[in-house]
Amino acid sequence: MELLHTSLPSWHYLIQALCRTLVHSLWQGLLLAALTGIVAVLTRKSSATIRYQLFAFLFFLFVVGSGFTFYLQFGHPGPVKTPLPRVADPETTSRFSTYLPVDFQQVANATAINWLMDSVAANAVLIVAIWFIIFSARCVQAMASLGHIQRIRHYKTHKPAESWPDKLQELAQKIGLRQTILLLESELVNVPTVVGLLKPVILLPIGLLAHLPIHELEAILLHELAHIKRKDYLVNLMQSFAESVFFFNPAVWWVSALIREEREHCCDDMAIGISGNKTSFINALVAFQEYNLTRQSYAMRLSSKRNHLLERIKRIVYTNNQPLNAMEKIFVTSSIAITVLVTVAFVPSSYQQKIQENYATILSGNQVVSWKHPTTQPDTLPKKKSAEYVDLDKRGTGTYSITKDGKRYEFIEKKGVISSLQINGKQIPDDQIATYKAEIDTILKDIKEAQRVAEIDRKQAEKARDQAELARRQAEKSKQAAEQGQVLVRQAKEMAELVRLKAELNAEDQLLRAKMESFRSAKDAEQAYNKTELAQLQRQLDKLQQEAFVRGRAQQDKMRAESVAQLAELRGRAEQMKQMAEDSRSQAMIAKLRAEEAQDLAQLAKKHAELARGKAEEAKIYFEKTTAGVIDDLIQEGIISDKNGLSFKLSNDELEVNGVKQPDSVHQKLKAKYVHEAGLEIIYNHNGRTGISKMAK
């Protein structure tokens, strides 16, 4: 018995091993986050399948690593302590003014690590107890979720039309599934859902099959079938269990959320690859925008990041994965930095032994080692100067620093809301920002108008540059055609050079004028600089024209006709291109106005649809309440015993129950209670009709 007792580990060793495993999982999670961030950056152009496999591999490698850590810790019940060097006696230490800082830093690191592990070991029971309570609560929550899944699978479900199961099996064969899959309509789900592993079931919201086009429904079913083919239900269960064990580790939550996002992207790609129609799939996603807001998920995002539906649509359209947002970049960078620091802190035992030997050597000698603290260098960075500054990031957040009417405005604007405002360096309280709304709106309007004009002028400058390139090519052709004699070659070359220079200078002149127009409302110094540059270019143009005139004066009579014809042709082409640009600009403005009008109409139609949906829901509730009241009154009057096979019609004129006209006293009683308008009829299973109608007068 004594041998058996000593060969088996006690519960104390088990708790110590589990506690140390949980502590080690923190720095292992940092390493997981760092590697995942690197993979996310390097695979931005890769397919969703590759990203999903890499993320899942790192995630489950972390889980396996934690299990291996528990195995090692359980095999070594006692914490490993690093022996510290002995401190010399006061007589020896008094010989030294200061000791070498490098070796002592390493010894201090070892001491801190030992102190941390000893503290963890001393409080292991408390740490494991708190962890076990929260873990048990999450397990109970997970079991309740599984029970809810089984409930929605069997409760308030309806079989769809006979054609849809056959259609589902046809789509399953296209995607490579051979097992039988059940399709049901459910009153309890708001979005298409897949439940079950061995016998999977696809649940669709009630009425969905009747409200969406067939090609959009096929895209939705292909997406759900992709989940079944990939066995995502099983992987999601494993993820949920890992999240329950490491609920305290933010890296686990973040990587798990990335895996779920890439899982949806993989299914999107499979559905689009089989259907071959991106438009139908995108329309199906948009149709479920309001349902996505109520989608439940075990994943806990690192931040309230981007609109997931919008990002999925962008990824499908542009075939490009989204980069990490600012919060994720900070998290990954911090994980890498902390991982490096922790790695450096855990010094190998051989190096610690070397430190101890060096330390002993120092204590045994008589030399004095001094240490001079470095002096603090003065700050030589130039002070920040105020400047006109506008910064718009990809997420719609704008940072503005503008001077207008002698006032300096510095504010941050996101989606039309001003979150911070300073005027002349004075911070405006949040509750007073609204009083400056008119001034801020004027500034934003001026900035947007300047940006719009600058964009138009930039496009005009690009077109002018294209004209210059066309003129240069035509000049080269003229040069080749004039190679019949040396004189003609020289004259054609000079003329072509003149035309090219004029065209290029004309393009530069237009570009400069565009710059001046776009920055007309900017500072006077910038405006003066643009005018000076324009004058200088104009002088260069005049000088080149004079030089060309002097060079070609001897051959002026002979080349005049050709130069006039070429210049006329160039002017005609320039005028034609200018007219084309004007037409394109007009068409673009018309298209923009039509798009805005269509958007407004779509918003109006959406509001009308929501209003109609609300009224229909109110009418349904009113009808159910009214019919229930009528049935209860009929039972109380003894006219019927229950509602099985019941039909009735209640109006201003009569009360008819199961085809029999009822006494006037009963009719008047129910009429006064339920018929509040002239011509109103309450019908229940009467001649195949059910509802509340109002007869025309």
pLDDT for the residue 256: 92
pLDDT for the residue 292: 44
When the pLDDT of each residue in the chain is averaged and rounded to a whole number, the result is 74
Query: 387 or 153: which carries more pLDDT confidence?
Result: 153
Answer yes or no: is pLDDT of 601 > 70. yes
Query: 570 or 643: which carries more pLDDT confidence?
Result: 643
* Residues 507-513, mean pLDDT to the nearest whole number: 61
Structure tokens at 94: 């008094």
- List beta partners, residue 202: 183, 194
* Residues 614-632, mean pLDDT to the nearest whole number: 84
pLDDT for the residue 198: 79
Coil, strand or helix: which one is 448?
Answer: helix
* Residues 310-336, mean pLDDT to the nearest whole number: 68
pLDDT for the residue 323: 61
Lowest mean pLDDT among 85-94, 542-551, 579-588, 641-650: 85-94
pLDDT for the residue 300: 33
Q: b/e per residue, 435-463, with b = 16+ CB within 10 A? A: ebeeebeebbeebeebeebeebbeebbeb
Q: Band the pLDDT of 638: cuts 50, 70, 90.
A: confident
Q: What angle do CA 593, 594, 596 make, to 5 degrees?
A: 65
Coil, strand or helix: which one is 367?
Answer: coil
CA separation for the pair 249, 252 (Å, rounded): 6
H or E segment and range at residue 76: none
Long-range contacts of 94-97 (CB under 8 A, 24+ apart): 95/366, 95/368, 96/362, 96/368, 96/369, 97/368, 97/369, 97/370, 97/371
CA separation for the pair 89, 601 (Å, rounded): 89
Answer yes or no: is pLDDT of 113 > 70. no
Q: What is the 3-state secondary structure (H, E, C) of 110-149?
A: HHHHHHHHHHHHHCHHHHHHHHHHHHHHHHHHHHHHHHHH
Q: Band the pLDDT of 35: cuts 50, 70, 90.
A: very high
Q: Band the pLDDT of 478: cuts 50, 70, 90.
A: low
Residue 316: CB atoms within 10 Å: 19
CA distances (Å), 130 to each of 18, 53, 66, 253, in order?
A: 12, 34, 19, 19
CA distances (Å), 38 to each of 44, 61, 221, 324, in order?
A: 10, 16, 34, 10
pLDDT for the residue 95: 39
Answer yes or no: is pLDDT of 668 > 70. yes
Q: What is the 3-state secondary structure (H, E, C) of 616-662?
A: HHHHHHHHHHHHHHHHHHHHHCCCCCCCCCCCEEECCCCEEECCEEC
Q: Band the pLDDT of 79: cuts 50, 70, 90.
A: very low
CA separation for the pair 245, 224 (Å, rounded): 29
Answer yes or no: is pLDDT of 514 > 70. no
Q: Band the pLDDT of 112: cuts 50, 70, 90.
A: low
Q: Band the pLDDT of 176: cuts 50, 70, 90.
A: confident
pLDDT for the residue 181: 86
Nearest CA among 529, 479, 538 for reference residue 505? 538
DSSP states of 144-194: HHHHHHHHHHHSSEE---THHHHHHHHHHHHHT--S--EEEEESS-SS-EE
Q: Quick one: how far is CA 319 from the chain centroid?
A: 15
* Residues 49-63, mean pLDDT to the nearest whole number: 92
Answer yes or no: is pLDDT of 553 > 70. no
CA distances (Å), 521 to each of 424, 443, 515, in order?
A: 20, 11, 11
Q: Band the pLDDT of 4: cuts 50, 70, 90.
A: very low
Residues 554-573 have pLDDT tens digits of: 666 666 667 667 777 777 77
* Residues 523-528, mean pLDDT to the nearest whole number: 57
Q: From its phi and psi, is residue 684 left (phi > 0), alpha (psi between -120 and 50) or beta?
A: beta
Nearest CA among 68, 544, 34 for reference residue 254? 34
pLDDT for the residue 530: 57
Q: Band the pLDDT of 173: cuts 50, 70, 90.
A: confident
Q: Band the pLDDT of 341: cuts 50, 70, 90.
A: low
H or E segment and range at residue 608: helix 556-636
Residues 36-45 have pLDDT tens digits of: 989 988 988 8
Nearest CA among 470, 476, 474, 465 for reference residue 505? 465
CA separation for the pair 52, 42 (Å, rounded): 13
pLDDT for the residue 96: 37
The position carrying tokens 């798009």 is 595
CA separation for the pair 597, 579 (Å, rounded): 27
CA separation for the pair 13, 689 (Å, rounded): 74
* Residues 15-21, mean pLDDT to the nearest whole number: 88
Lowest mean pLDDT among 114-118, 512-516, 627-631: 512-516
Q: Band the pLDDT of 343: cuts 50, 70, 90.
A: low
Q: Band the pLDDT of 130: cuts 50, 70, 90.
A: very high
* Residues 463-489, mean pLDDT to the nearest whole number: 72
Query: 582 or 27: which carries more pLDDT confidence?
Result: 27
pLDDT for the residue 73: 85
pLDDT for the residue 306: 47
Tell me which range, 149-163, 393-407, 465-479, is most confidently predicted by mean pLDDT: 149-163
Lowest mean pLDDT among 28-32, 321-325, 653-657: 321-325
Q: In the chain, what percentage of residues exceed pLDDT 90? A: 7
Answer yes or no: is pLDDT of 10 > 80. no
Nearest CA among 383, 191, 394 for reference residue 292? 191
Structure tokens at 506: 């004309």
Which is it for the CA torsion 553, 555, 558, 559, positive or negative?
A: negative
pLDDT for the residue 133: 93
pLDDT for the residue 628: 87
Residue 321: CB atoms within 10 Å: 19
Q: Band the pLDDT of 131: cuts 50, 70, 90.
A: very high
Answer yes or no: is pLDDT of 378 > 60. no
* Residues 192-206, mean pLDDT to the nearest whole number: 85
Answer yes or no: is pLDDT of 250 > 60. yes
pLDDT for the residue 217: 85
Q: Band the pLDDT of 432: cuts 50, 70, 90.
A: confident
Q: What share of the chain is helix, strand, coil (3-state, %, to 5)?
A: 65, 10, 25
